[in-house]
Structure formats: C-alpha cells, structure tokens
Structure 1
C-alpha cells in the first residue's frame, strides 16, 4: 500500500492490524525513507507478528523498475528502518525449515539441524549438522516466499517495455465489474520463475506487454483464494488462504489497488484439508 494513501487504503481492507497512531507514524517515516534512500516509490508491505515484538515491513522501488530489484526494509517501532539483504535460494529454503512463531528479535538465532551425505564410494554415510540461522535471515526468506506466492496485481496495472523493465501503466483505469469477478483478471506480482507453455489460442488472446505475469486462476490447490465484494459491492477483496493475513483490494473502474500482509509469517499447511 502506497505510503501517501496508507490510512484510506487500510480502511478498504477493514483497517485491521494498525492503530491510528501507528498509521500516522508509518506514513511520516515512510515518506522520509523514500527521500533518504532516493526511491521513486515506497509502500507499506505489512506486519509480521512476533512473540515479543512485531516487524513492520516496507518495500521501495527505484525509477524505471517496479518488479525486480525491490528493496525491503523492516522496523520494530514504525519509525526507524533497517535495510534487509536480497533473498537467496539458500536463505529461502532454510527459512521454510523453521517452524513456529517469530520471536521479534532480529538477532535471535535458531538451531537448524540438517542431514547430509558424507564420504565417498562405499563409505558414504549420513551425518547430522547443526547450523545457526538468524531471525533476520528468516525474515528475508519469509517475505520473499509470501511475495512469490501471494503478492497480487490486477491485469493491466503494470506494463513491460521492450527492455524488460516493468513500470506502472498510466493508461490503466481499473478492471470492469465483470472482469473483477474473475480470478483470471488478477496476476501474481512476482517475476515468473519458469514461463508456462501457452497454446496458440491462449497467446492470441493475450498481450505480451501486460500478460507477462502468471494468473491466480490456476493456483494449486484450487480454492486457495477467497474473492469477495465489500463496502456495498464497491470494492473487490482477495484473501489468500495459503498465507492467512494477505489481503488484496481493488476498486473497479479506478486505478486504486494494493495489498497488505498482517499475519504470523507461517504458511497454512492445513489448507488442503480445509478446502
């Protein structure tokens, strides 16, 4: 959610998770963060709830690129922000191995036990190795996972130029009411890892400038998204059942859209039994 319109945007998703004081502090500190880091855009990503404290997360983009190279920051008090390192495949993989609530202390260390093969030939054996994994690294991996699986944008809100850069589509005027009722009108706002093969009929109906992201329509398991109309059927709200707390909103016929995550940072592994 954009820093300049944080309070009204939170009201569109029922305003849960932030007090008026926190919203005011976030708006002010995020605008200062944008100025100090020389970013073109800064938005409030969400809040990860911890046992002793909560992490407030923000992301910023530089001029000319809205998708790749996003910078991620965290704060413990809504005022002071720390830059997180870019996620790596190893950090994301190890973050998934840790279970339980976040503590709320970036310096906290988890003991992570992994099994690996050692030796050569007939003398191969399996050994148990214990590594120390900081909560700050877990935070990096968890945010990357949530972005990959639950960050959403309406179709047409972003456009890809011939150089491969993704920018805001200034011509986007919002989805129509009929389009907003379909999951196919909403896309994963994350770089596509493995491009899906499309038939000639599918390619004929799509514009490569705006259809470069994957649709939510084919997400597995089927039914992992809840689409509802709220506030007198004037706002469409999408909620992820895989990452409970991830909420996306869009006001049809306007460019207004955004998402926020307020949860404990744990994937809902019971989802297949709930559908």
Structure 2
C-alpha cells in the first residue's frame, strides 16, 4: 500500500508551526507532520505531511498561500520495508578500534576489535553517518593517547553507540546515555542488552542535561553530544559547566560550514578547541576545559 508525502518550505518558525498545525486538521488527515529548520543560514523551515491516501491538493494550495509557503511538492511513496532495506545496504563500519555492525554481519567481526552491534531502527546513530563515525574516531584517538575518563555522558544518544563504545573500553567508568525521545531511550536500552552491557550504561529520558541524575553525577570527564547546531549552541553553557577540569566534549551533528559558530559558543563558555575533523560535509569537534 503506497503512502503520500507533501513537502514545502517557508521562512520563519512561527509560520512553519502554524502551517503544520493547520495541516493536522486536513481531511484526509495526515498520519504525521514534521517541522524542521533548514540549517544553511537561509532562515527557511521545511514542513512535511505524510498521508495514507492522496491528500487534498486544493487545500494544500490554500494553506501554502495562507502561510506564505512555496507550493507543496507531492510524492507517492512505494511500500518499502525500510529496516530490511537498511540491513541490506549498510555494511560494517571500521572506526579505529571499533567495529560497528548489524546482526546480519555478526560473522564478519575481526579479531582484536571492539564490536558494537547496532540494529537498523527508528533511532539515529548506526556509525555510518559522518557525525557518528567522526565521534568514534575522535574518541579512539583520545584512548590511543592514553586518556581514560572516569565519567562519560552521551547527550542525545540515539542508538547509544557512543555510550556503548565508552562502556566497552572503560570497565570502571560511570556511563550515562540520555535522549529527549523515549523511543530512542528504549532503543538504547535494547542495544545495551544486545551488546551485553547491562549495568554498564544507564539510559535516561532527559532534555539535554536537565535531569537530576545527570547533575548529581557530574562533573563529567567526557561528554558526547552528537545532535544539531542549534541544540549544541544552546547547550554550550551547560556542557561547559558540567565538564570537569581537563574534561573533553566531543561534539558533532553539525555541518562543516556551521563549525565555527559552534566553536565560538563553547570558547565563550570557557573551553578550548583541541581538534576539528571533517568527514564529507560534517564536522566533529573536540574541546577541553583547561
């Protein structure tokens, strides 16, 4: 059974949120509506709706005009088992000492590597994306240099691949993985169990660092934050305050063209840039509290 998408862009968050709310009242109603900022400095927002039957094109034209949006781009999406598709398409990932794989590639784990099994799910962070790969490689370099953090926090953990990388290499460390989305927390807990790391990674639902457990356990020696430019800048004062002296923040989820503004926010909050690595169009930053 096909599904249908209707996508548009328009300037301003308020207008985008208003358009999304109006789309939710359409008949036939969408199964979901998303609002996303296009992080290219244009100030544009994308609004998309997904439907189980063809949407009312006249109503979409009316809504686009009313909210100053571009005409909706309509598409019919074929029925696809995306999990099966991802499993077929994603090959294992080499990231320094780490080997990230799905269950279908369990027989390919090389000797002497740290295996991290991640299943294709609705949560982000399989290791294939330049941001997750960049974080794993940055952490691998820190370990190679002999650094061993005692407390590790993975903010916006997704699949918890970064938290599990820490737990697998730091047997005595406290490791907490947090995400604002309970679905991601559930996925993280499932991956922790798959990798035999129960009791080594604590998974929490939290908005950024806003959780009593995170505050009580700090300061942190290492904080991973593989999220987006906006939240990274917003969290700069909190992450900087929560880092112990000598602690590192490994940040990604940002485009290379956004790196300077993120660095500026963290330098203003008291950190020093140690390294920056670009993989494709994505950047990974390592900053330190002196």
TM norm. shorter chain > 0.5: no
Relative contact order (alpha carbons < 8 A, sep ≥ 6): 1 or 2 greater?
A: 1
More helix by share: 2
TM, length-normalised to structure 2: 0.29
TM, length-normalised to structure 1: 0.30
